[in-house]
Structure 1
Amino acid sequence: MDKRQVSVKRVIALIIITNLITASLLIFAPIPFIGGKKLVSNEEYQFVKKFNKLISIKTILEKKYVDKIDEDKLVEGAVRGMVDGIGDPYTVFLNQKEFEELLTHTRGSYAGVGLYVGEKDGKIIVVAPIEDTPAYRAGIQSGDYILKVNDQDVSAKEMDKAVSMMKGKEGTKVKLTIYREGKGTLEFELTRAIITIKTVKSDVIENDIGYIRITTFDEHTADAFNKALDNLLSKGIKGLIIDLRDNPGGLLDQCTQIADRILGEGTIVYTIDNQGKREEWKSDSNKLNIPLVLLVNEGSASASEILSGAVRDFKAGTLIGTKTFGKGLVQEIISLPNKEGLKVTIARYYTPSGECIQGKGIEPHIKLDLPQKDKIKELSYKEDIQIQKAIEVLRNK
């Protein structure tokens, strides 16, 4: 193999500036020194050569920049730049604060305004407001674009920064500038509050129809769903509505546990990674034996679409509403040293029939949109035309 000699100082500087993890350090450590140089393979030499620009810029900044440079910030900026270079808004580096916020969110509570957001056309789009939160009460809607936070322009490239800016201490205020189709630019001043996410709520409607609303899939959702379903079944329901409207997704295992409860034997979903490796999640033969309807809309994303796609492909129920969001990517959260993290898109997921819905969404069996005036207020089930349609479908099963 072709070998090259590279300055030890330059190699060490490269490792520091890119903040590479231990695995990268092990590549260089065993290689012997020769006359003050380090013997490296051609592959390693090309690695150093590619990142030489980074070292050169760091050197210039250290020599020329008027103020003292914070090397920690320089390293973080370099790492963020590397990750951003992929061009995937769902693959991001998380510093200590951001990583803790993510973990807090999956545990179910945080201080903020109560919005789930995503990326569309390079902009930050509201996937769904969380029920009974400042954003929900103010009337922010699915499909709104967030243009500014506290008068600072934001974009999908800095989505995590924008999310962090919307969070803060309970009782403090934050200003959001949004764009809404047909309305133009709107401004909202919201007071941050503790957002406690109760992901499942249930009720019996029309005497014998069970209704379960799932707002997101966090680490407690499957247990809460099973308890709610058991309670409804004990009351003798003859049909079930699962409401996934404005549910932006969440933990895959929680979604597949719910799917396993209601579907028969088969593949719920499968993923394919960058090596072509396929991983499957399956359900057993036990299934729900009453008619089922799922309510979906443009705010139903990710894990919501996995459940919807499985119900559709199993022919286990009827989907009613509007086309779903179209997020067919799977992320892994990787813990790094110093309590930092990396969120990485590791695979695409596919419905049982083999469809990847990334950028496409899932079309419901029955297309029915709520009137615009009804999207900005909480409706009773009698006022909600989608729920009423679901009841009609269940009655005719």
Structure 2
Amino acid sequence: MAKKKFYALIVVLLLVTNIITFTVANVVSVVLPNGKVIVPREEYQLMKEYSKLFDIRQILINRYVDKTDPSKLLDGALKGMASSLGDPYTVYMDKKEFSDFMTQTTGTYGGIGIVVAVDKEDHIVVVSPIKNTPGERAGIKSGDIIVEVNNKKVSGKNLDEAVSIMKGPQGTKVTLTIMRDGKTFTKTITREIIKLETVYEDMLPDKIGYIKITMFDQSTSNDFKSALNKLKSQGMKGLIIDLRDNPGGLLEECVNIANMLLPKGVIVTTKGRIDSQEYYSKGPGLGMPLAVLVNKGSASASEILAGAIKDRKAGVLVGTTTFGKGLVQTVVDFKDGTGLKYTVAKYYTPNGTNIQGKGIEPNYVVELPSDYTPKDTLDLKGDTQLIKAFEIIKREIK
């Protein structure tokens, strides 16, 4: 019996010794008396793999013709790593860029008030001008291609830089070179403080409610709920939601709004390499006729909402085919003022459709007249898309 206990003790000691050895070799860095360091195996492999990066850094710091800023070299290396994927929506953001990005979804910023994306040809395309901003007043339209910013050529490869140049202090000017219908022209626009008011409501004749959503920021679903309740208290019988020129925004806000409109069931599915997720509506749904206005400026989160409503037959879409951005981004805050925005998944409508590069075709395709000029107020005489949606809802509530 004593022998068995002795052998068991030996086995335990061997196991403990092996665990300690493995931990020292693979996890813990050990400083030897001579100043040398034993590093974990994985860390050593990384150091070997990235040794050229460190070599280049030292060469540039020590030998480049002008004095270099090590922090800029690091930012440049990190930006290059993100951009090497060829995905314009995956970007490393330095302190200024990350601050600007966070401001755009949480507050106000100095700029001209346009939202841009990258098309299949690597052009920077205006998704939409934000309502009541310098960009809208200057006549910038969805689909415009931005060729230059302040005489600097831009494309999807330097989207991040182009956006940064367009932003700036209130009262300063920025010049855009724009291509539209094959013709190029310039616009010099004075920057203003852009306030992100994302929800507007009104009551049309016959008790048909109207809610415009300009984008999905952190307060949009609460503002939408307030607008919806206000219209219901006024006796609303049917609803038109206007997602035209809505570039998207926060997925969670979109899902929250969809939960107010859809009966119980799937809203959207996101599928990534690591993680996939289904978002569900708890119901019971809006309980009245619903039409949604969309166009080529409706992108990302607005397409998620429109796609869910169409696929679940909770309402109809009216307008023109949407932008076609079926990718989901997430943001990493490194807590030092910098951040990484990267594509984490593709999203699929309840019918299993990914609309990346294709967009969503409405139930009723309606073009605006070529000479139509948007009005500051709801236009039931010239806005053919709104007129069609109004007629559909009016017919359903009778």
In the other structure, the counterpart of 1:169 is 169
Instruction: Classify the secondary structure of the residue corresponding to 2:187.
Output: strand
Amino acid at match of 1:310: A
Matched, 1:74 2:73: yes
Q: Residues 375 and 48 from structure 1, CA distance in 2 versus in 1: closer, same or farther, beyond 3 angstroms?
A: farther
Q: Residues 49-198 of structure 1 correspond to what in structure 2 (within 5 A)?
A: 49-120=48-119, 121-182=121-182, 184-198=183-197
Identity of aligned residues (%): 49
Instruction: Classify the secondary structure of the residue corresponding to 1:396.
Output: helix
In the other structure, the counterpart of 2:3 is none
- Any conservation in 1 of the 2:295–2:320 contact (CA below 8 Å)? yes
Give, in whole Å, the separation in 2 of the partners of 1:373 and 1:65: 57
In the other structure, the counterpart of 2:291 is 293
Q: Residues 297-336 of structure 1 correspond to what in structure 2 (within 5 A)?
A: 297-336=295-334
Q: Residues 179 and 376 from structure 1, CA distance in 2 versus in 1: closer, same or farther, beyond 3 angstroms?
A: farther
Higher mean C-alpha displacement, 106-115 vs 315-324: 106-115
Q: Residues 28 and 69 from structure 1, CA distance in 2 versus in 1: closer, same or farther, beyond 3 angstroms?
A: farther
Give, in whole Å, the separation in 2 of the partners of 1:340 and 1:199: 26
Give, in whole Å, the separation in 1 of the partners of 2:106 and 2:45: 43
Higher mean C-alpha displacement, 228-237 vs 32-41: 32-41
Amino acid at match of 2:345: A
Higher mean C-alpha displacement, 292-301 vs 78-87: 78-87
Q: Residues 27-38 of structure 1 correspond to what in structure 2 (within 5 A)?
A: 30-32=28-30, 36=36, 38=38
- Any conservation in 1 of the 2:61–2:70 contact (CA below 8 Å)? no
Instruction: Classify the secondary structure of the residue corresponding to 2:258.
Output: helix
Instruction: Classify the secondary structure of the residue corresponding to 2:206.
Output: coil
Amino acid at match of 1:171: G
Amino acid at match of 2:176: L
Give, in whole Å, the separation in 1 of the partners of 2:174 and 2:282: 47
In the other structure, the counterpart of 2:388 is 389
In the other structure, the counterpart of 2:201 is 202
- Any conservation in 2 of the 1:139–1:376 contact (CA below 8 Å)? no
Instruction: Classify the secondary structure of the residue corresponding to 1:88.
Output: coil
Structure 2: 5+ residue stretches without partners = 1-23
Give, in whole Å, the separation in 1 of the partners of 2:111 and 2:352: 38
Q: Greater Rg, structure 1 or structure 2?
A: 2
Q: Residues 134 and 32 from structure 1, CA distance in 2 versus in 1: closer, same or farther, beyond 3 angstroms?
A: same
Give, in whole Å, the separation in 2 of the partners of 1:337 and 1:285: 38
In the other structure, the counterpart of 1:245 is 244
- Any conservation in 1 of the 2:206–2:394 contact (CA below 8 Å)? no
In the other structure, the counterpart of 2:21 is none
Q: Residues 301 and 279 from structure 1, CA distance in 2 versus in 1: closer, same or farther, beyond 3 angstroms?
A: same
TM-superposed CA distance for 1:373, in Å, is 2.1
Give, in whole Å, the separation in 2 of the partners of 1:29 and 1:290: 60
TM-superposed CA distance for 1:52, in Å, is 2.9
Q: Residues 155 and 377 from structure 1, CA distance in 2 versus in 1: closer, same or farther, beyond 3 angstroms?
A: farther
TM-superposed CA distance for 1:337, in Å, is 3.4
Which of residues 346, 349, 352 in structure 1 aligns to 2:350?
Answer: 352
Give, in whole Å, the separation in 2 of the partners of 1:315 and 1:139: 36
Q: Residues 14-33 of structure 1 correspond to what in structure 2 (within 5 A)?
A: 30-32=28-30
TM-superposed CA distance for 1:380, in Å, is 3.8
Q: Residues 39 and 230 from structure 1, CA distance in 2 versus in 1: closer, same or farther, beyond 3 angstroms?
A: closer
- Any conservation in 2 of the 1:141–1:375 contact (CA below 8 Å)? no
Amino acid at match of 1:224: D
TM-superposed CA distance for 1:376, in Å, is 6.1
TM-superposed CA distance for 1:215, in Å, is 0.4
Structure 1: 5+ residue stretches without partners = 1-25
Higher mean C-alpha displacement, 231-240 vs 254-263: 231-240
Matched, 1:371 2:369: yes
Q: Residues 376 and 389 from structure 1, CA distance in 2 versus in 1: closer, same or farther, beyond 3 angstroms?
A: closer
Instruction: Classify the secondary structure of the residue corresponding to 1:207.
Output: helix
- Any conservation in 1 of the 2:316–2:363 contact (CA below 8 Å)? yes
- Any conservation in 2 of the 1:329–1:349 contact (CA below 8 Å)? yes
Give, in whole Å, the separation in 1 of the partners of 2:376 and 2:214: 14
Amino acid at match of 1:352: P
TM-superposed CA distance for 1:225, in Å, is 0.9
Amino acid at match of 1:86: L
Note the aligned Cα RMSD (angstroms). Answer: 2.0
Amino acid at match of 1:144: D
Give, in whole Å, the separation in 1 of the partners of 2:301 and 2:218: 13
Higher mean C-alpha displacement, 266-275 vs 309-318: 266-275
Instruction: Classify the secondary structure of the residue corresponding to 2:193.
Output: strand
In the other structure, the counterpart of 1:11 is none
Instruction: Classify the secondary structure of the residue corresponding to 2:299.
Output: coil
In the other structure, the counterpart of 1:266 is 265
- Any conservation in 2 of the 1:139–1:377 contact (CA below 8 Å)? no
In the other structure, the counterpart of 2:18 is none
In the other structure, the counterpart of 1:281 is 279
Give, in whole Å, the separation in 1 of the partners of 2:370 and 2:45: 57
